[in-house]
Amino acid sequence: MIGDWLRIDLYHNNGGLFGLFQGSAVIFAFVTVAVVAILVALEIGSGWRSWLVTVTLGLLLGGAIGNFIDRLRFGYVVDFADIGIGTLRFPYIFNVADAAVTVAILLVFVLWFIAPHLGVHMPDEKDLDSGRQADDAGKVKVG
């Protein structure tokens, strides 16, 4: 126990994030491979140049890979963090990877719903196409 707010307690999680869908570790392992591929493709192919998007995708990727490694090694995810004050505890025991995924999910909502109201502009396909045309117009062909 580290103070009253963090207790270290070992829990074998055969399900998903925060113990949801118990007994589905194998399914989550396969889903993780697809999610990792999608996240890498999004970061490489999106054209977004926002540090917040990169951090968000990095947290998702890191959390997915962290839990995937546990599933491969043990057949379950090792959860250990029990937070709260006294008898008022967070209802789930979790790990660092779960926390990273949770923060990333919150950041996705910020990017989708709050950022546009703060004047943060995420490029859409039209913006990306016009940027590509400007790049092509400025190139000099050699040959």
Of 98, 124, 129, 136, the catalytic one is 98
Across the strands, what pairs with 79?
11
Retrieve residue 128's tokens.
């990306």
Taking CA atoms, 16 is separated from 72, 90, 138, in Å, by 14, 17, 49
Q: Give the whole-angstrom CA distance, residue 13 versus residue 20.
A: 9
Taking CA atoms, 77 is separated from 17, 21, 105, 112, in Å, by 9, 13, 19, 30
Is 136 a known active-site residue?
A: no
Taking CA atoms, 142 is separated from 77, 122, 133, in Å, by 55, 34, 18
Of 4, 79, 124, 136, the catalytic one is 79
Retrieve residue 87's tokens.
């008898």
Is 98 a known active-site residue?
A: yes
Active-site amino acid positions: 79, 98
